[in-house]
Amino acid sequence: MFTVSTSPLIHPNIRNNVFMPRRIRLHTSPSIRLSIRSSSSSSRDTGFTCIDGKKEAKSIRDEIKIQVSRMAASKNIVPGLAVILVGDKEDSASYVRNKKKACESVGIKSVDVCLPEDSSEEDVLKYVLSFNKDPSIHGILVQLPLPSHLNEANILNKIIKEKDVDGFHPENMGLLVMRGREPYFVPCTPKGCIELLHRYNVEIKGKRAVVIGRSNIVGLPVAHLLLNEDATVTIIHSKTKNPEEITREADIIIAAAGQPNMVRGSWIKPGAVVIDVGINHIEDPNAPRGHRLVGDVCYEEACKVASAITPVPGGVGPMTIAMLLSNTLSSAKKFITSNDL
């Protein structure tokens, strides 16, 4: 009989798979900046902090690696992630490669299936159903977007909820949203945003949060994660008439609109904390490839006003993949626990 390890996944202060360190107060008055842990290498004399997602993601991956090797040693089980890619979109292929590399770096088994662009729904579902049954696979994800002839919802809904590590199933979303319920998995990017706030000791309870964007993948779930932690949340979007004015009321801003440099310095209340989820390519003749990545927030302006902000790249992006690894490991742990019962 196996003995279930009780050592934590990420950190001793963990609750519901979300990191829960001791909180400190968020200072939001105009003259007082966010007080963060002094160990941050990005702190400057001004009190401004660049939230280092790359560093935090590495630290999470290191912790996951230890957990994975303990699981292999004590249970002879290796967590497995299956990724299904349909078509040859370069962005998607690159994301899948990064996920594969990240899995390898922590010892998670990664199985990739690359299907041609003109695959039918049945072709894709054949793999989904096979991975659903495969006991060596604990997480399944279908890389989005799918080619337009495929029905995304039909395919995603077929992944069993216990392996839906992306957390995109409507029932999972319902459970995430509802009071007193727990989702199977918290979707990776929103989980990464909240994890960064926790790791930088940003107090959420009672704070005003503005989420810019209402996508199923980021905006909506992150709004509910903040609400579940007792923030007062406003969701703004393309039909909002005065986004600047409303955003300026926020102690915490999550920008997930997909609009390069949309959030200017004037949108930000002095001392606010800004999480920039945007990943936008813009032309830049001075950049080696003629373009560069920017977020939804104008970093140069924001860093003069905010107390802390995530850069792009190196902010939320690396956290998303770390959270995918974390969800896959959690899933493997749950499978072990349920088999032990």
Asked whether position 165 contacts a second copy by CB under 8 A, the answer is: no
Residue 142 Cβ, how far from a second copy at the closest point, in Å?
16
The stretch near a second copy (CB under 8 A) out of 43-51, 202-210, 257-265, 279-287 is 202-210
Residue of 67, 163, 164, 166 with catalytic role:
166
Structural contact between residues 271 and 28, judged by C-beta atoms closer than 8 angstroms: yes
The answer to the question of residue 201 lying near a second copy (CB under 8 A) is no
- Reply yes or no on whether 99 is catalytic: yes
* By CB under 8 A, residue 153 contacts a second copy: yes
Q: Is 179 in the site for a second copy (CB under 8 A)?
A: yes
Residue among 82 and 252 whose Cβ is closer to a second copy: 252
Q: Quick check: is 340 catalytic?
A: no
171 binds a second copy (CB under 8 A): yes
List C-alpha distances in Å: 259 to 14, 211, 224: 34, 14, 22
- Residue 62's contacts (CB-CB under 8 Å, 6 or more residues apart) are none
Choose, by CB under 8 A, the member of 70, 97, 149, 237 that binds a second copy. Answer: 237
230 touching a second copy, by CB under 8 A: yes
Assess whether 91 carries a catalytic annotation: no
Binds a second copy (CB under 8 A): choice among 43, 175, 261, 293: 175
Q: Which range binds a second copy by CB under 8 A, 60-68, 140-148, 238-246, 289-297?
A: 238-246
* 195, containing H or E segment: helix 188-199
Report the residue from 66, 93, 177, 293 that binds a second copy according to the rule CB under 8 A.
177
> Using an 8 Å Cβ cutoff, are 146 and 155 in contact?
yes
Determine what percent of the chain falls in helix, strand and coil, rounding each to the nearest 5.
Answer: 40, 15, 45
Q: What gap in Å lies between CA 272 and CA 250, rounded to an integer? A: 7
Residue of 52, 143, 207, 251 with catalytic role: 143
**Backbone Cα Rg of the chain:** 20
What span, in angstroms and rounded, lies between the C-alpha atoms of 220 and 174? Answer: 11
181 binds a second copy (CB under 8 A): yes
* C-alpha torsion sign, points 177, 182, 62, 49: positive
Q: Does 32 bind a second copy (CB under 8 A)?
A: no
The span from the CA of 228 to the CA of 114, in Å, is 37
Amino acid residing at 277? V
Are the C-beta atoms of 211 and 235 separated by less than 8 Å? yes
Q: Which of 52, 99, 207, 269 is catalytic?
A: 99
Among 8, 170, 304, 339, binds a second copy (CB under 8 A): 170
Interacting residue ranges for a second copy, rule: CB under 8 A: 153, 169-175, 177-181, 205-206, 208, 214-216, 220, 227, 230, 232-237, 239-241, 246
